[in-house]
Structure 1
Amino acid sequence: MKVLPFTIPVPHDKTIIVQKDVLPHFYPHLHRHQEIQLMWVQQGEGTLIADNNMHRFRSNEIYWLGANQPHLFKSEASYFHPKSKKKVSAIAIFFNPSGQLSSFFDLPEINTLKRFLQQHSNGFKIPQENVSEIANKIVLLNKSNGVSQMMYFIDLLRSIAAIPSLLPLSMSTQPQNYSENEGLRISNIYNFIMQEYEKPITLEDAANKAHMTPHAFCRYFKKHTRHTFLSFLNEVRINEACKKLTNSNSETIANVAYSCGFNSITNFNRVFKRITNQSPSEYVERYFNREAK
């Protein structure tokens, strides 16, 4: 079986790499790269993992991911169905301010942008009210080359840096310095949990997947993710529950709870409120009130 790398190499034939993808689903493995990534999800839905934090993503959203920030855009399960005709599309911009662009970011005139990059190593999501402006600039960058592309790139960074109050994707106080082997192991564990979350997964199951004893696995998982195994499993389950509660199928809260791996409504309600600070019914009501505006 082919072993997938954790650190994904990005082609370096240009200082600014613009990649347009139309695929059945997004790359389904936790990974990192040296480059900062600006990701415009034009079409697609699922879960973004950035470091040890989860976010729901939908079409027409834009995300900034820091250099070497472990991340994963996991498409909804329906995208992986053998008969699925769904597609995802995205434009991603990659650049490495410590690589060929380092001398550019050392210019005194660019100092403000350099500080902005340093202050946002944990990534962020572009506020929805700014998406149209930033998306238009991404389109211009994608259609250009040479000097024009560099000018559009600077203008894009300047516009993003001017957006106030950008919320980080991860609250980690320091970057996750995974070795390649650690990254692969964590990626496999994440992938296992996100594929099997609706089943009664035990600590022993996850430890076996990592080829560790349960005690060693607990210490390892907490050290590298800042989550206990159960807290991460519950966050995955509640994240999936939030998506199911707000889709068009109008499932009952009870059905959603059991389909996401909870064995009782009482436990589901308790965990849901602890993670979201709302009850399931409050979450649904507030969600549809926002959508109606």
Structure 2
Amino acid sequence: MKVLQFTIPVPHDKTIIVQKDILPYFYPHLHRHEEIQITWIQTGEGTLIADNNMHSFQSNEIFWLGANQPHIFKSAPEYFSPKSKKRVIATVIFFNPNGQLASFFSLPEMGSIKRFLQQHTNGFKIPQENVTEIANKMLQIKNSKAGVEQLMYFVELLRIVGEMPLLTPLSTGAQPQKFSEYEGLRMSNIYNYIMQEYEKPITLEDAANIAHMTPHAFCRYFKKHTRHTFLSFLNEIRINEACKKLTNSTHTGIATVAYSCGFNSITNFNRIFKRVTGKSPSEYLDSYFKNVDDQMVA
């Protein structure tokens, strides 16, 4: 999918780009670029869409996005409130293994790392137990002055990540066929609409109107571009948000969360929740807090 193709500006004396973002919210449109992207969410929460898969994100998480992988870090709805004083903070590294670094990655000594990059084109999330180590390495890359020093820290980061076992891809299967930039913008508008309005009883007709299509044409268009039906995508967005609210210490009960995420029936919420997560809401909560307790003990 040709989705807002970005060109990351590369200084003449740099092959690794490091930036720190402090913004009201993350860039709200689907986009992609030739560079691999490593994003450390220092402050912020919301939903990551990578290709056509959704993942919650929160503070102190790190995501690796493959080259040309369509993605959007969609900040939670409260970040877009006119009175919001929230900010997102992130440190991001970009590098293009097929650009000026191509000859470097072709060295025999870089063989294992090059194979790792080729095997993880669908991106992954850094395991939480490794976040501190990778975050510190990213800070070393960002704060290093000399080019050689920065490159050494960068190779060390790749070595550490490359030795991590069982990294779960952010998306599975082949990417959808490529479409025009106009279609990419249209899909971005549809995604944004659903993610902003999921709490309301939005219908297929509502989404079709955003796309300026008939409901029948929209159904075919949406499935072709996302491999989701409109309803399955909407339900995944709602369940994704419900998971975040359930694990928030201020939540006031499963029923309240269900209704606040756009469901009008607890039975329907429980059924869809289990279909999407593989667990009932109560089982999900038990599992979540057990993991939290285990991490505290460790």
TM-score by length of structure 1 reads: 0.94
Instruction: Report the Cα offset of residue 172 of structure 1.
Output: 2.5
User: Which residue does the alignment assign to 1:12?
Assistant: 10
State the distance in 2 between where 1:162 and 1:79 align. 36
Whole-angstrom CA distance in 2 between matches of 1:175 and 1:98: 22
> CA offsets, 1:252-287, max 9 Å, x none?
222211111112111111111111111112212222
Cα distance between partner residues in 2 of 1:55 and 1:65: 13
CA deviation string 1:180-222 (max 9, x = no partner): 2221111111001001111111111111111222222111111
**Paired residue type of 2:166:** S
Q: Give CA-to-partner distance per residue, 1:77-112, whole Å, 9 cap, x none.
A: 222222222222111000111112122222222222
Residue equivalent to 1:185: 186
Which residue matches 1:204? Answer: 205
TM-score scaled to structure 2, two decimals?
0.93
- For 1:106, give the aligned amino acid: S
User: Equivalent pairs: percent with the same residue?
Assistant: 72
Contact 2:176 2:225 in 1 (8 A): no
Q: 1:52-67, aligned counterparts within 5 Å? A: 52-67=52-67
List aligned pairs for 1:162-177, cutoff 5 A. 162-174=163-175, 177=178
Cα RMSD (Å): 1.5
SS at 1:189's partner residue? helix
Distance 1:173 1:292 in 2: 37
The gaps in structure 1 that reach 5 residues or longer are none
| DSSP-derived class of the 1:27 partner | coil
Q: 2:245 maps to which residue?
A: 244
Gaps of 5+ in 2: none
Q: Give the Cα–Cα distance (whole angstroms) in 2 for the partners of residues 91 and 68 of structure 1.
A: 19
Which stretch shifts more, 193-202 or 22-31?
22-31
Secondary structure of 2:258's aligned partner: helix
Give the Cα separation in 1 of the matches to 2:69 and 2:43.
Answer: 23
Aligned length: 289
Matches within 5 A, 1:28-43: 28-43=28-43
Distance in 1, Cα, partners of 2:177 & 2:162: 24
Tell me the equivalent position of 2:116: 116
What is the distance in 1 between the residues matched to 2:190 and 2:125? 26
Alignment of 1:55-94 (within 5 A): 55-94=55-94
Output the CA distance in 2 between the equivalents of 1:34 and 1:284: 39
For 1:273, the equivalent position in structure 2 comes to 274
Shift of 1:226: 0.8
Is residue 43–residue 87 contact of structure 1 (8 Å, CA) maintained in 2? yes
Partner AA of 2:8 in structure 1: V
8 A contact 1:50–1:71 mirrored in 2: yes
Query: Which amino acid in the other structure matches residue 75 of structure 1?
Result: S
